[in-house]
Structure 1
Amino acid sequence: MKLSSIFKTAMLSAAILSAGLQAKPVYVATTAIVEHPALDAVRDGVKEVLTENGYTGDELKFTYESAQGKPDIAAQIARKMVGDQPDIIVAIATPSAQAAVTVSDTIPVVFSAVTDPIGAKLIPSLVKPGGNVTGLSDMANVKEHLSLIKEFIPKVKAIGVPYNPGEANSVSMLAVIKEEAKKMGIEIVESAAPRSSDVMIATKQLVGKVDAIYCPIDNTIISAVESVVKVGIDAQVPVFAGDTDTVSRGAIAAVGYDYFDLGRQTGDIVVRILKGEKPGDIDVKMANGTNLYVNPTMAKRMGIEIPSTVLSRATKIIE
């Protein structure tokens, strides 16, 4: 074979190899502890930003798996994802993020919808966290939430909070709720619901002890919030929430984030990493932007009126 033929063959092989390498899609593996509107919206927001940045079609492999509310399944999913070697793992909510961080020390992990990433031991610092982990915190403005309840019920003395004591996110949030409530002279009555199936029983235990029920950003409670709403209607105890998506599912009102927008904010971090930045060099982002949603129909069913001051500044009224 002539030297020129050998050279042409080598060049053709290199071109084919290069084309194959270029054709390999970016692989973003996404997981969440449970499926519910807020967490689903985060996932969808991430994917929209990827699409806007050119990661689409054959250029993107985007997978999603739900742990169905079970930490042991979250751990199985995380181990499988590491074995599949994606370019980035996006872990939505605290248990899924903890599972991913535990098994991955090289693949970048971007968490989202995590209230207290330091308390959950995901990162040592919000500023340049180091390692392969960064993300977005959705720490809620609890003071604003309690002030909203007080606007509905000026003489509120006790607020019931169902929560999952096994979720680090929920334990951190409950501590903040108690701290802020104490400043306002409000008693917090907690009721544990370790599983979604426990939510109705936990909520019923609050009846007769509280003036209102507040559903924090707790994946177990939110996944079964219809049970809380039913108790609220039956017992005529108004139900409020820490996330706006829950208002369309029966809560009377909420001041909170648009979780699709939080997904977009998370997607911005994912794109930065895909373009070459190291996760550990990216500061953890704090969610921004709040909305006020109200549900007049549910307010009526729970025996309470929405103050005109609340209606006048509502971002969205759900009929």
Structure 2
Amino acid sequence: MTMRNAIVLTLLLLALAVLCPGAAHAERIALLISSDDAPYKEAVAGFNEYVSKQGLQISYELIGLGGDPSRAGGAIQKIKSGRFDLILALGSLATEAVALEISDTPIVAGLVLRPESLKKGANLTGVSLEFPLELQFSWIQKVVPQARTIGVMYSPEENKKKIEAAAKVAQKMGLKLEALEVRTLQEVPDVLERLTKRAQVLWGVPDTIALSMQMAKPILLFSLQNSIPLVAPSSMWVKAGALYSLDCDYKDVGTQCGAMAVKVLKGASPGTLPPESHRTVSYSLNMNTARMMKLAIPDDLVRGAKQTF
């Protein structure tokens, strides 16, 4: 190669590096995954699919926690020494670990149950699994239009702020929230009994005490025996007898995270990107429960359900 040709080639490569910065530098992303369960795999697929179409050159390193908190320390050290441009944290375990230990690398989090988990640092943003309260109550009005009083059990340590906000939203929508505190598992049956004459529908808020798996059977029996429909936090509860649940499209949550990640890689600060709720609503219905309670579910809602039982 002549000196002239070498100079021309060098200039062309420099021009390409300016026009296509991804070709000059591969952005390094750490994927910190709380669990190997299917929702996490779907979210990773959605993230990768979106990011790969954006013209960026990306290299990934997958770091799995396998649901084991004791593995978080080693994972954090690996991330700190890896000099990553961005961290995708999926699940509460992964998000809490990186939010606590890493402040100098942008973090996009997904599959996080509580929106407040995404407000723990200026380098953190993401997508929560919680639907906006207005949307949740509008679905109650759609599926159980005759219900005006919504009963809910909650642990004040976990959900006090959420319930206070929910009461205001319910009032604006012409609904009443009958909220009763539960501090121990042993209190659940008595609180359910108090709701018998107060509530027309039971709103199942994720709560390690009020809606724990140990209390699933008495809660579902209460709902069926008193014909008070249970709006559940997941399709697993619907399969067991709850009337319906609003469900997540985990792949689309990954896509949302991908869109946020691309903005960050192009220069946006995570602190300027407000946390989002996931945008795709799917739902599961238990038609056997509806028939037992003599509830008329509109045909279009039945047809639109992701799952029916």
TM-score range, shorter chain: 0.5 to 0.7
Q: Does the CA-based 8 Å contact 2:119-2:125 persist in structure 1?
A: no
Q: Residues of 2 paired with 1:267 and 1:222: CA distance?
A: 32
Query: Normalised by the size of structure 1, how large is the TM-score?
Result: 0.64
**1:205 alignment counterpart:** 191
Q: Residues of 2 paired with 1:223 and 1:275: CA distance?
A: 42
SS of residue matched to 2:34: strand
Q: 2:304 aligns with which of 301, 314, 318?
A: 314
**2:120 alignment counterpart:** 122
Matches within 5 A, 1:166-315: 166-167=157-158, 170-183=159-172, 184-192=174-182, 198=185, 202=188, 205-209=191-195, 210-218=199-207, 224=213, 226-227=216-217, 228-242=219-233, 246-270=237-261, 279-280=270-271, 282-301=273-292, 303-308=293-298, 311=301, 314-315=304-305
Q: Residues of 2 paired with 1:171 and 1:96: CA distance?
A: 25
- Counterpart residue type for residue 82 of structure 1: I
Task: Report deviation, 1:140.
Answer: 2.0
**1:46 alignment counterpart:** 43
Q: In 2 relative to 1, CA 203–66 (structure 1 residues): closer, same or farther, beyond 3 Å?
A: farther
**1:81 alignment counterpart:** 75
Q: In 2 relative to 1, CA 288–306 (structure 1 residues): closer, same or farther, beyond 3 Å?
A: same
SS of residue matched to 1:205: helix
Query: Normalised by the size of structure 2, how large is the TM-score?
Result: 0.65
Q: Does the CA-based 8 Å contact 1:49-1:264 persist in structure 2?
A: yes
Q: Does the CA-based 8 Å contact 1:46-1:263 persist in structure 2?
A: yes
Post-superposition Cα deviations, 1:115-143, rounded to whole Å, max 9, x if no partner, equal 4338x7424xxxxxxx4212123452323
Q: Does the CA-based 8 Å contact 1:110-1:270 persist in structure 2?
A: yes
Q: In 2 relative to 1, CA 244–258 (structure 1 residues): closer, same or farther, beyond 3 Å?
A: farther
- Counterpart residue type for residue 247 of structure 1: V
How many equivalent residue pairs? 267
SS of residue matched to 1:188: strand
Q: Does the CA-based 8 Å contact 1:293-1:314 persist in structure 2?
A: no
**1:18 alignment counterpart:** none
SS of residue matched to 1:251: coil
Gapped regions of structure 1 (runs ≥ 5): 1-21, 68-72, 124-130
Post-superposition Cα deviations, 1:172-224, rounded to whole Å, max 9, x if no partner, equal 43223211223324232234367xxx3x8526622342332111255776662
Q: Residues of 2 paired with 1:138 and 1:50: CA distance?
A: 16
Q: Residues of 1 paired with 2:120 and 2:190: CA distance?
A: 34
Gapped regions of structure 2 (runs ≥ 5): 1-24, 53-58
**2:18 alignment counterpart:** none
Q: In 2 relative to 1, CA 29–271 (structure 1 residues): closer, same or farther, beyond 3 Å?
A: farther
Q: Residues of 1 paired with 2:178 and 2:235: CA distance?
A: 21
Task: Report deviation, 1:62.
Answer: 3.7
Task: Report deviation, 1:280.
Answer: 4.2
Q: Does the CA-based 8 Å contact 1:138-1:286 persist in structure 2?
A: yes
Residue identity over aligned pairs, in percent, reads: 18
Q: In 2 relative to 1, CA 159–132 (structure 1 residues): closer, same or farther, beyond 3 Å?
A: same
Q: In 2 relative to 1, CA 182–281 (structure 1 residues): closer, same or farther, beyond 3 Å?
A: closer
Q: Residues of 2 paired with 1:172 and 1:263: CA distance?
A: 28
Q: Does the CA-based 8 Å contact 2:65-2:72 persist in structure 1?
A: no
Q: 2:133 aligns with which of 134, 142, 152?
A: 142
